[in-house]
Amino acid sequence: MATVSTSNRLASVPTTEPAILVVDDLVMRFVTADGGVTALDHVSFGVKPGEFLAVIGPSGCGKSTLFNIVGGLLGGYAGAVTVGGETISGPHASIGMVFQEESTFPWRNVLDNVGFPLEISGVPKRERIERARHFISMVGLDGFEKRYPSELSGGMRQRVSMARTLASEPKILLMDEPFAALDEQTRLLLGDKVLQIQQQLEQTTLLITHNITEAVQLADRILVMTYRPGRVKRIVDINLPRPRTSEIVSSEPFGRYVAQIWNDLREEASRGLSDAETRPLRTHDKPQGQP
């Protein structure tokens, strides 16, 4: 699918700069025991080079489905995802995924965990170690190269996962609630780390989250999704100064953005809460095929 034909649908992308990642009219249905669930309903948006876009929505809005589709791990949808104009049909070299779950390899030390994508792409050992060390240092884990994940805290392990994905030098960093399992303080501090890295690398980032503070703290734009079926409800520009740190959470404009997003989200979240049929989409629910 050519980007040209899709770009006029992307009313939400405000500038003329072409998006590097385009999600075009995605529709995804799952077959469940009692019929079907539409996880994504005509979702379209674009992410520009260097931009940080956060996708926020209540539980059950299809955020994780979106993550898996953009990451190329899930098929059976209608619509298209393009990276630099190229339609993806599986995991794409330009997209690096950071998972919500604990995903470090317990049998590899930090250095070998971070070097994993380089090993896969056949980078020679010496260069691999050098590059892995670079990204380990970037996430602030110098001195932990020889430690195993079981010897690290949850926050440190998530930093290892992030360094591992950064080591593959993706054009687009795709993260699915990477700090969901962490406590609030660790989450804010890791947010600082993400801001710092993102500014340093000018890293195009797509963050999936349900945490409003996290989204406002990190993003240039926030896409609010509706509760099932997942649609784009609103896209909010976050005009907070950069470079940012976690100190911004106490500022007055920050509070206004949080309130605004929560206004949008509250309706959706309460719909999800009152939905008698609420059950999370299970991973073994089968895609229905092209709807």
Whichever of 121 and 185 has its CB closer to other proteins, that residue is: 121
User: Closest separation between CB of residue 99 and other proteins, Å?
Assistant: 5
Whichever of 116 and 179 has its CB closer to other proteins, that residue is: 116
Closest CA to 21 of 205, 169, 222, 197: 205
The set of residues, in sequence order, having a beta carbon less than 8 Å from that of 260 and lying 6+ positions away, is: 236
User: Closest separation between CB of residue 265 and other proteins, Å?
Assistant: 27
Whichever of 108 and 271 has its CB closer to other proteins, that residue is: 108
Long-range contacts of 254-262 (CB under 8 A, 24+ apart): 254/216, 254/217, 257/216, 258/212, 258/213, 258/216, 260/236, 261/56, 261/212, 261/215, 261/216, 261/222, 261/224, 261/236, 262/212
Phi, psi of 21 (to 5 degrees): -115, 125
Whichever of 83 and 236 has its CB closer to other proteins, that residue is: 83
User: Closest separation between CB of residue 266 and other proteins, Å?
Assistant: 31
Binding positions for other proteins, rule: CB under 8 A: 71-73, 90-91, 93, 95-97, 99, 101-103, 105-108, 116-117, 119-121, 148, 150, 168, 283
227: left (phi over 0), alpha (psi -120 to 50) or beta: beta
Whichever of 90 and 241 has its CB closer to other proteins, that residue is: 90
Under 8 Å between Cβ of 60 and 42: no
In whole angstroms, give the CA distance from residue 122 to residue 44: 35
Whichever of 100 and 209 has its CB closer to other proteins, that residue is: 100
User: Closest separation between CB of residue 154 and other proteins, Å?
Assistant: 14
The set of residues, in sequence order, having a beta carbon less than 8 Å from that of 228 and lying 6+ positions away, is: 37, 38, 39, 60, 61, 62, 272, 275
Whichever of 107 and 262 has its CB closer to other proteins, that residue is: 107
User: Closest separation between CB of residue 155 and other proteins, Å?
Assistant: 18
User: Closest separation between CB of residue 132 and other proteins, Å?
Assistant: 14
Residue 218 exposed, middle or buried by CB count within 10 Å (0-12, 13-18, 19+): buried
Tell me: cis bond preceding 170? Omega within 30 of 0 counts: no
Whichever of 115 and 191 has its CB closer to other proteins, that residue is: 115
User: Closest separation between CB of residue 191 and other proteins, Å?
Assistant: 22
User: Closest separation between CB of residue 133 and other proteins, Å?
Assistant: 19
The set of residues, in sequence order, having a beta carbon less than 8 Å from that of 211 and lying 6+ positions away, is: 56, 177, 179, 180, 187
